[in-house]
Amino acid sequence: MSGRREARLNEQFKREISEVLRREVRDPRIGTPTVTGAEVSPDLWSARIYVRPGPGSDDGEEARRDLLEGLRAATPFIRREVARNLTLRRVPEIRFEFDRTLDRAMRIEEILREVLPEDEDEESPASPPSEEGSKA
């Protein structure tokens, strides 16, 4: 599958699953999650869907576990709805995973704050020395 087609299919899956979750799924464990990404395999046998709790939702470990459990229970329904909305010969098996990108980015920021100097007002070594008293 070409790179463009794969990217387009990933985006279409992300959009369709977001709509199904927002409009059709009524499981209280799920709420209104944010679908952050989709990776459909080139052979269309499987799709990984990355999710995070929606705005205003608890972001604790128990809430994450409940979200994934609810999504796994609703997967057959979601897959049928996606198949109804998309025209594909085969709709991939859907597997939901928690998106940890934000957690990783926050950890990197934390490490950078520890390593980098806090005072950025100091003169950097690359700046040229001042030329006071030089002849014009």
Nearest-5° Cα angle at 121, 111 to 129: 125
Q: pTM of this prediction?
A: 0.75
pLDDT digits (tens, 9 = 90+) for 24-70: 998 888 988 999 999 999 888 999 999 998 877 777 888 889 999 99
For residue 118, is pLDDT > 60?
A: yes
Give the mean model confidence (pLDDT) for residues 60-87.
91
Give the mean model confidence (pLDDT) for residues 131-135.
53
- The domain 3-99 having CATH identifier 3.30.300.20: the answer here is yes
Is there a contact between 50 and 99 (Cβ–Cβ < 8 Å)? yes
For residue 136, is pLDDT > 60?
A: no
Give the mean model confidence (pLDDT) for residues 11-29.
93
Strand stretches in 68-115, DSSP E? 93-98
For residue 2, is pLDDT > 60?
A: yes
